């Protein structure tokens, strides 16, 4: 049974928090009204609304854009998996010791340096337009595949560095403990170092994933009919920018859950490390 | 006389210009408990890490059951299977349960089927008094409990030689007892142990032999009552006096 004193204190706290909520609601309403009135009374507003936020055009362009977005999502899924796999391989290659691995180590380093610094748009042009121009047998000429390949090339270099940072953040004493038990280098990497490394870099990886989500829209420069390209077609047809806004908002909507998930994960990692 | 389990011969270890071990020789026989004492920086930990081949020697040999395991042609991973080491900072794997920590080496290195490995591990955890924590993670345990798990992990593949590297130094004073009691049990069960420690009282009670290191050299060696009671070397006396002054003996 709580004491009279504690009950009185709780009642006071409750009344304070009710008051805070009320103040927040009121100030938000005033602020929103002020912004709304200012925007609506601005001289250019009707034209802005007409060319960027036209509900009718938005509705009409939505099916085509959604169909394009479905392509983006498929590219995202395939590229995401390939990037994680290749990046892990590159990161591990860079940590290999021993003379046999020297060429592979150098190759991995050169690859990362090259593709991390290269502007993605140039890479897209080179892979998307340059490769098919060689007319080599076996090179696909599907812009979606080529665009995806360019994305994988660029992002693998980035993500490999994230993984490597994670691998190097695992304390050497963990390796010593594993080796002292008789585990070989490979087993130590696979069973002791990598699981801890991946867990630690998860928030950074999710951040890169958000970045990849929107960069999937860049395959449109090759002519693949994705959400961005579909919006462009709709824009040209209606002579109105609303389709771009629709496509842009869809990408934002896509990124929000990942961003929130990354935040939650980051907080969890922080809590766990703080507790140690 | 039978072959010693461990024979360290003229081991030298340098880090840059600094010579940490300056020609150490030492034998540990079967069922013998040898404690290594000496001030911080005297080379105790380095000696154990050299024996476990975690450090490369700059000279000398480490023989395990008469086999020179410090030879670069010997597979260190295989040689290490004959030894278990417990570290000052526990070094449990934080992403694995207590049970997985203990069964890792038997499963992966010794190819023991999971079921059998887990049965043995639970037996071991029961002996260190932690069978009920098998499904938990290291971070959920106290320091003393973590160190007991680390000992179980080192014992899980029945090594010939157990290396204990200042295993109580990172523990709160009230947790030291539970870990030392476990080591005492192992000693009484006839384990062969080489142990670096600051716990002089414990060394006196449990060790068959005490070895004093100073500046990377083995200064004095003998039964505990002699080395700790009537040391002959001035450096040993000086070290012990400091320990007594600090109230640790």
Q: Any idea what the CATH number is for the domain that residue A168 is in?
A: 1.10.3720.10
Flag whether A263 is in a domain.
yes
Structural domains in chain A (count)? 2
Flag whether A197 is in a domain.
yes
Flag whether A224 is in a domain.
yes
Give the pLDDT score at B171: 86
Among B230, B182, B226, B233, residue whose Cα is nearest residue B208: B226
The encoded tokens of residue A27 equal 């100030």
Give A90-108 pLDDT, tens digit per residue. 999 998 888 888 999 999 9
Using CA atoms, how far residue B121 sits from A117, B117, B129, B155, in Å, is: 50, 6, 12, 9
Check: CB of residue B35 under 8 Å from CB of residue B213. Answer: no
Name the CA dihedral angle for B227, B232, B234, B238, rounded to a multiple of 10 degrees: 30
CA dist B56 and B153 (Å) reads 24
Q: Which chain A residues have a beta carbon less than 8 Å from that of B95?
A: 195-196, 199
Q: What crossing angle do the helices spanning A55-95 and A102-117 adopt, rounded to 10°?
A: 150
Name the residue range of residue A16's domain: 1-42
Give the pLDDT score at A215: 93
The encoded tokens of residue B91 equal 């070094």
- Please name the member of A179, A187, A199 whose beta carbon is closest to the beta carbon of B80: A179
Flag whether A51 is in a domain.
no
Using CA atoms, how far residue A21 sits from A17, A132, A235, in Å, is: 6, 61, 43
Check: CB of residue B121 under 8 Å from CB of residue A207. Answer: no
Q: Are A19 and A137 within one domain?
A: no
Interface residues on A facing B, Cβ-Cβ cutoff 8 A = 173-174, 176-184, 187, 191-192, 195-196, 199, 272, 275-276
Flag whether A229 is in a domain.
yes
CA dist A264 and B172 (Å) reads 34
Residue B51 pLDDT > 90: yes
Residue B118 pLDDT > 70: yes
Q: Parse chain B into domains and list their residue ranges.
A: 1-7+14-82+160-249, 93-158
The encoded tokens of residue B121 equal 């591990």
Q: Are A172 and A35 within one domain?
A: no
* Number of CB atoms found within 10 A of residue A149's CB: 19
Flag whether A47 is in a domain.
no
Give the pLDDT score at A274: 42
Q: Are A108 and A171 within one domain?
A: yes
Residue B44 pLDDT > 80: yes
- Please name the member of B85, B110, B139 whose beta carbon is closest to the beta carbon of A180: B85
Give A6-26 pLDDT, tens digit per residue. 999 999 999 999 999 999 999
Q: Are A226 and A115 within one domain?
A: yes
Tell me the percentage of chain A whose pLDDT exceeds 90: 63
Q: Are A140 and A90 within one domain?
A: yes
User: What are the backbone angles phi and psi of residue B34, rounded to the nearest 5°?
Assistant: -115, 125
Task: Just give the CATH number of B1-7+14-82+160-249.
Answer: 3.40.50.300
Check B81 against A182: CB less than 8 A apart.
Answer: yes
CA dist A65 and A44 (Å) reads 28
Q: Are A177 and A226 within one domain?
A: yes
Helix (H, G, I), strand (E, B) or coil at A276: coil
Q: What crossing angle do the helices spanning A143-169 and A55-95 adopt, rounded to 10°?
A: 50
Give B146-160 pLDDT, tens digit per residue. 999 999 999 998 899
Give the pLDDT score at A276: 38
Provide the shortest C-alpha distance from residue B238 to chain A (in Å): 33
Confidence of residue A85 (pLDDT cuts 50, 70, 90): very high
Among A61, A24, A4, residue whose Cα is nearest residue A234: A61
CA dist B249 and B229 (Å) reads 11
Q: Which residue stretches of B5-87 are H helix?
A: 44-51, 76-80
Give the pLDDT score at A125: 93
Provide the shortest C-alpha distance from residue A188 to chain B (in Å): 10
Name the residue in chain A with its Cα closest to that of B54: A176
CA dist A77 and A196 (Å) reads 24
Provide the shortest C-alpha distance from residue B123 to chain A (in Å): 19
Average pLDDT of the segment spanning B61-78: 90
CA dist A157 and A112 (Å) reads 5
Residue A268 pLDDT > 80: no
The encoded tokens of residue A250 equal 């869809």
Flag whether A191 is in a domain.
yes
Among B84, B23, B55, B45, residue whose Cα is nearest residue B216: B23
Give the pLDDT score at B153: 94
Q: Are A114 and A36 within one domain?
A: no
Q: Are A119 and A219 within one domain?
A: yes
Give the pLDDT score at A269: 66
CA dist A145 and A149 (Å) reads 6
Flag whether A48 is in a domain.
no
């Amino acid at each position: 049974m709580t004491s009279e004193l504690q009950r009185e204190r709780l009642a006071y706290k409750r009344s304070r928090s009710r008051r805070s909520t009320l103040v927040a609601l009121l100030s938000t309403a005033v602020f929103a009204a002020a912004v709304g009135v200012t925007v609506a009374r601005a001289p250019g507003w009707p034209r802005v609304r007409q060319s960027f936020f036209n509900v009718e055009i938005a509705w009409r362009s939505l099916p085509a854009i959604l169909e394009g977005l479905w392509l983006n999502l498929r590219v995202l899924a395939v590229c995401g998996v390939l990037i994680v796999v290749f990046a892990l391989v590159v990161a591990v290659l860079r940590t290999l010791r021993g003379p046999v691995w020297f060429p592979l180590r150098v190759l991995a380093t050169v690859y990362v340096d090259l593709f991390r610094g290269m502007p993605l748009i140039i890479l897209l042009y080179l892979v998307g337009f340059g490769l098919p121009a060689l007319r080599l047998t076996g090179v696909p000429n599907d812009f979606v595949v080529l665009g995806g390949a360019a994305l994988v090339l660029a992002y693998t270099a980035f993500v490999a560095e994230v993984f490597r940072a994670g691998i190097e953040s695992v304390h050497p004493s963990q390796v010593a403990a594993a080796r002292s038990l008789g585990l070989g280098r490979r087993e130590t990497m696979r069973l002791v170092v990598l699981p801890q490394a991946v867990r630690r870099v998860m928030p950074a990886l999710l951040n890169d994933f958000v970045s990849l989500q929107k960069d999937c829209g860049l395959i449109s420069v090759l002519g693949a009919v994705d959400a961005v390209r579909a919006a462009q077609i709709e824009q040209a047809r209606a002579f109105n920018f609303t389709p771009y806004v629709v496509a842009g908002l869809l990408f934002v909507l896509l990124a929000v859950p990942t961003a929130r998930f990354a935040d939650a994960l980051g907080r969890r990692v922080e809590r766990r490390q703080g507790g140690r | 006389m039978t072959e010693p389990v461990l024979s360290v011969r003229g081991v030298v270890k340098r880090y840059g210009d600094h010579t940490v071990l300056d020609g150490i020789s030492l034998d540990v026989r079967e069922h013998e408990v040898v404690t290594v004492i000496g001030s911080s920086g005297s080379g105790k930990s380095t000696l154990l890490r050299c024996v476990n081949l975690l450090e490369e020697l700059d000279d000398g040999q480490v023989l395990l059951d008469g086999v020179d395991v410090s030879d670069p042609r010997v597979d260190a991973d295989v040689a290490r299977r004959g030894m278990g080491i417990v570290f000052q900072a526990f070094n449990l794997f934080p992403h694995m349960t207590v049970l997985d920590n203990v069964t890792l080496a038997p499963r992966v290195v010794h190819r023991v089927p999971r079921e059998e490995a887990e049965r043995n591990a639970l037996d071991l955890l029961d002996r260190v008094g932690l069978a009920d924590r098998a499904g938990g993670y290291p971070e959920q345990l106290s320091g003393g409990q973590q160190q007991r798990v680390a000992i179980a992990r080192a014992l899980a593949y029945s090594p010939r030689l157990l290396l204990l590297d200042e295993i109580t130094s990172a523990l709160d004073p009230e947790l030291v007892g539970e870990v030392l009691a476990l080591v005492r049990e192992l000693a009484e069960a006839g384990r062969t142990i080489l142990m670096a420690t600051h716990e002089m009282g414990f060394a006196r009670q449990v060790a068959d032999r005490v070895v004093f290191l100073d500046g990377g050299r083995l200064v004095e060696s003998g039964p505990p009552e002699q080395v700790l009671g009537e040391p002959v070397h001035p450096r040993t006396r000086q070290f012990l006096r400091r320990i007594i002054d600090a109230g640790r003996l």
